[in-house]
Amino acid sequence: MGLWRLAIMMLLPHRNTDVVLYISSTVCMAFCVAEAQPKEKVTVDCANPVCSSSANMFFKAMSQEKKSQPKSTKLSDTGCPVDREELGRQSWTMLHTMAAYYPDEPTDSEKQLMTQFITGLAQFYPCTHCAEKLRESLSVNPPTVNSREELVLWFCWAHNEVNKDLGLKVHPCKLDSLDRRWRYGRKGCFATDLKHDDDDDDAADDDVANDE
């Protein structure tokens, strides 16, 4: 209610319609953005950019003078360190793609290396509370590395667990859809023979995980 009280106090001295509309719309936008943020219980236990969320910068930006805005919204394109969201997107892109190219029949050595990689990721992932959540997921459902299909579906499950915590969409873990997104591509991606029928492209695109 603090935002609305502030709005009323600001609006009372003004009778100019343009001023009233400007102030009320600004406060309303700030209130709506605050209400729209996912209600996640996260303890931010490090001060690094990878532990923060760019959404939290909204109110800080409201109190600063406007500067020339970069064309790209990605922090990495501005020469700045990535925040939690961008790190997550880039990490999931790498992990899903790596799983898509994992051997169908991995050797014992390959299985061991992949398990060690995932365990190490959960230990050294830069966003510390994100790493803690991943370790919790590993304790509940350890990675399955006996085949490419198993690993692809496991990473889909792990990604959905993160999305649940963030209040994001949970995607069906269908091997065909995941392969189309991360390995074979759909019509128009590149000049190659597709493994899947083009008619199913649009439906499959709705199923794959592209969130944080």
Question: Is the residue at 212 inside a domain?
Answer: no
Helix (H) or strand (E) holding 23: helix 17-36
Query: pLDDT category, 3, cuts 50, 70, 90?
Result: very low
Q: Please check whether residues 72 and 141 belong to one and the same domain.
A: no
- The residue ranking higher by pLDDT, 196 or 83, is 83
135, 122 in Cβ contact below 8 A?
A: yes
State the total domains in the chain.
2
Q: Please check whether residues 143 and 165 belong to one and the same domain.
A: yes
Residue 211, pLDDT > 70, answer: no
Residue 84: which region, alpha, beta or left (left: phi > 0; alpha: psi -120 to 50)?
Answer: alpha
- Which of 51, 78, 105 marks a domain boundary? 78
pTM for this structure?
0.63
Q: Please check whether residues 96 and 175 belong to one and the same domain.
A: yes
Question: Is the residue at 101 inside a domain?
Answer: yes
- 45-49, 62-66, 83-87, 113-117, range with the lowest pLDDT: 62-66
Q: What are φ and ψ of residue 18, in 5° steps?
A: -65, -40
Rounded Cα distance, 211 and 171, in Å = 10
Rounded Cα distance, 97 and 84, in Å = 20
Q: Could you tell me the sign of the dihedral formed by the alpha carbons of 185, 157, 129, 63, in that order? A: positive
Rounded Cα distance, 46 and 126, in Å = 10
Q: Please check whether residues 56 and 116 belong to one and the same domain.
A: no
Cα 157 from chain centroid (whole Å): 14
Instruction: Give the CATH number, domain containing residue 199.
Output: 1.20.120.310
Mean pLDDT of 72-96: 86
What's the confidence (pLDDT) of residue 170? 95
Residue 58, pLDDT > 50, answer: no
What's the confidence (pLDDT) of residue 106? 98
- Which of 33, 60, 78 marks a domain boundary? 78
What's the confidence (pLDDT) of residue 186? 85
Question: Is the residue at 58 inside a domain?
Answer: yes
Mean pLDDT of 40-65: 57
How many alpha carbons lie under 13 Å from residue 103 in its C-beta half-sphere?
11
What's the confidence (pLDDT) of residue 128? 94
Q: Please check whether residues 102 and 198 belong to one and the same domain.
A: yes
Helix (H) or strand (E) holding 204: helix 201-205
Residue 185: which region, alpha, beta or left (left: phi > 0; alpha: psi -120 to 50)?
Answer: left
Q: Please check whether residues 17 and 61 belong to one and the same domain.
A: yes
Q: Please check whether residues 197 and 123 belong to one and the same domain.
A: yes
Q: Please check whether residues 10 and 109 belong to one and the same domain.
A: no
List the domain range (segments joined by +) for residue 176. 84-205
Mean pLDDT of 171-181: 95
Identify the burial level of 135 via C-beta atoms within 10 angstroms of its C-beta, where 0-12 means exposed, 13-18 middle and 19 or more buried. Answer: middle
